[in-house]
Amino acid sequence: MMLTIRNLTVAVEGRRILDGLDLDIAAGEVHALMGPNGAGKSTLANVLAGREGYEVLEGEALLDGQDLLTMEPEARAQAGLFLSFQHPVEIPGVSNLQFLRTALDCLRKARGEAPLDSAALLRAAREAAQVLGLPADFLKRGVNEGFSGGEKKRNEILQMLLLEPRFVILDEPDSGLDVDALKLVAAGVNRLRRPDRAFLIITHYPRILEYVRPDRVHVLHGGRIARSGEAELAHQIEAGGYAAVLEGSVA
Amino acid sequence: MSTAELDAALSQAYEAGFVTDIETETLPPGLDEKVIEYISAKKNEPDFLRQWRLDAFRRWQTMREPRWAHVHYEPIDYQGLIYYAAPKRRSETEIDPKLLETYEKLGVPVHERAALAGVAVDAVFDSVSVLTTFKDKLAEAGVIFCPISEAVQKYPELVQKYLGSVVPPGDNFFAALNSAVFSDGSFVYVPKGVRCPLELSTYFRINTARTGQFERTLIIADEGSYVSYLEGCTAPMRDEHQLHAAVVELIALEGAEIRYSTVQNWYPGDEEGRGGVYNFVTKRGLCAGRGAKISWTQVETGSAITWKYPSVILKGDDSVGEFYSVALTRGRQQADTGTKMIHLGRNTRSTIVSKGIAAGHSQNAYRGLVRINPGASGARNYTQCDSLLIGPHCGAHTFPYIESRNPRAIVEHEASTSRVSEEQLFYCRQRGIDPERAVALIVGGFCKDVFQKLPLEFAVEAGKLLEVSLEGSVG
């Protein structure tokens, strides 16, 4: 297993959001995590990435056998974890290219690799920008500075393409995107699908799953995975809503 | 990362804090007319200058130390300071290798074959200039770049004409003190129509304990000329405070342009505020003729207290004044810095961009005056003043003064205060960037507008300096 989560129980400001969650994701797989608003989908993403403000009461999360929950956020990233943020923050004055270079330097240094040379990085970044339909001057602009919602989401995918993580969490990569942008984001994800890489796509809507076909779909409810199934489960949710698929579930 | 963590472990990584073990010739501490006579005689000065110093000293004795700045320090014992310290020369021509070593260690290119080949350096150690590079190459272009003590001997008429013409001896308490006791500094004259072929640079180093450094810089750009000048400063780590009270005067005649950049990294003191340099400096430029331009760019990371306002008097019609500043304070550092733009001529324009960054328990104030006199029709000023806070214990303050006496002038002022947010830090860390590098990256982005104004060779230096200064500013 690439990612193994056992009995994960997490509170935010004293309130239990995740309650004994189990989840296994094997290398090469794409899993979708769905669920109604407030079910705790983003909490799971943030806890795995190491954001402050979440209290882990019980359980563990292993990435390639490493205990994620005891690691600093940057160490998790260096271990191959990438979170595509639902709301990426702006860093004024720091160009996308400079940001990418710094991140790559740090990641490569942690892996004991020499820094990527500037020309190679620039080439790779330009190509990735093109794939995502981003304008040529995009790399010079400040990180997310004055970007539209769609540009921010595509910038997350651009970073993912260049940083080449092993395990990717996409937190609502589709929210606020029109169908053209959605296709570009999906194409970015599909481009990176490989037998030694895994994805967890968090989403409200089955729409993106039309373009990125998941191996497994999970429904988060009551603080744990209440229902799991094949891609077909997403269609059932679309047709009948969460109530229909959760009927008779443990929650 | 919590704000408490952010603020924790404010270690002081000051790389220039070593002492050079060198024999020096020093006066005993104390200041009276005899000390001034001694300095003047030591430098074999003409009578006008000796008298000028004595007049300044008498003036200074009647003045009181100003107290209006947003800084706090124990009273300075002016009789406890040393006013003259000079490394002993072994011979007339040879420079002590220990001095060369010192500058090499500090990364200052004192050899003409140095990596920064486009830069000429004047190196000032304690009270005297110890060497100047590329003099010949500059002389070919007609540019004079030498220690001011040498200019007094060789070009007394230029010195007499311009010294004190922008900052008169009685201008303020520290300027008066400087006028009385200044020991060395740099002198630049760029003749009519000449574009100075090299970046000029002066590197100031205080070494001897309890020594005040009072250097004097005088730059004259004759009609239609151009010069870019940079000063750098460091001092060893010492427990007591050191006073640095310099005066810089710039004169740009018709159509001339002076770009003056400062990378100031005087010893800032330790975490509890022990030691560190008091950087009380008067810097002023005069756009004397039509279309003259003076641009100040400063990156201030050092000093226990920074208290200065590089200013421009826009006398010539259509003249331009600029001030770009990054002031970073951490630990117990205090800064009260900014600029004055005095618009006298018509259609004069000024731009002020100030970036203040405060970390630790530091206090960082911007103070700026924009004055539009009645005759300055069509004058314009744009001021942008941004503060960035790192952690909960520091302070940022803005004191803008706008005095417009001409209804046809346009003055714009924008200000902002922001914090390095936990979200920004987490975002960087999620991409594998360690917290220190993340803060340096975010701060570098905040300062981008100013770094772009530095000469290319020094923009990289300034970025690195900022990174070093921020080391340990996050938990």
B289-342 pLDDT per residue, tens: 999 999 999 888 877 888 899 999 999 999 999 999 988 888 888 888 999 999
Q: What is the mean pLDDT of residues A50-57?
A: 94
Q: Give Cβ neighbours of residue B462 (< 8 Å, ≥ 6 apart).
A: B263, B299, B326, B451, B454
* Domains of chain A listed by start with CATH number: 3-246 (3.40.50.300)
User: What confidence tens digit (pLDDT) does each residue in A164-191 have?
Assistant: 999 999 999 988 888 888 888 899 899 9
Kindly list the residues from chain A whose CB atom is less than 8 angstroms away from the CB atom of residue B1.
Answer: 52
Question: Among A108-122, B417-431, B460-474, which is the least confidently predicted range?
Answer: B460-474
pLDDT tens by residue, B107-128:
666 555 444 455 667 776 665 6
From chain B, the residues in CB contact with A73 under 8 A are 426, 429-430
Angle made by CA atoms A137, A138, A140, in degrees to the nearest 5? 70
Report pLDDT digits (tens) over A93-115.
999 999 999 999 999 999 899 88
Mean pLDDT computed over every residue of chain A:
91
pLDDT (tens digit, 9 = 90+) per residue, B384-402? 999 999 888 888 889 999 9
Q: How many CB pairs under 8 A join A and B?
A: 79
pLDDT value of position B2? 38
Model confidence at B16, pLDDT cuts 50, 70, 90, reads low
Average the pLDDT over B227-239 and give the result.
73
Position B116 scores a pLDDT of: 46
What is the arithmetic mean of pLDDT over A60-76? 96
ipTM of the shown complex? 0.96
pLDDT at B109: 61
Beta-carbon separation of B445 and A92 below 8 A: yes
- Show Cβ contacts of residue B77 under 8 Å, excluding neighbours closer than 6 positions: none
How many angstroms away from the CA of B454 is the closest CA of chain A? 16
Nearest CB to B445; choose among A76, A94, A107:
A94
| C-beta separation of A251 from A36 below 8 A | no
Q: How confident is the model at residue B9 (pLDDT cuts 50, 70, 90)?
A: very low
- For A236, the 3-state DSSP assignment is helix
- For residue A92, CA distances in Å to A120, A142, A164, B383, B459 come to 25, 5, 25, 19, 18
Task: Inspect the interface and report whether the beta carbons of A78 and B432 lie closer than 8 Å.
Answer: yes
Question: Distance (Å) from the C-alpha of residue B425 to the closest C-alpha of chain A?
Answer: 10
* B430–A73 C-beta distance less than 8 A: yes
pLDDT of residue B47 exceeding 80? yes
Place of tokens 């010069």: B227
pLDDT (0 to 100) of residue A54: 95
pLDDT tens, residue by residue, A188-200 = 899 999 999 999 9
At which residue do the structure tokens 């987490």 appear?
Answer: B426
CA distance A178 to A192: 22
Eight-class DSSP state of A69: G
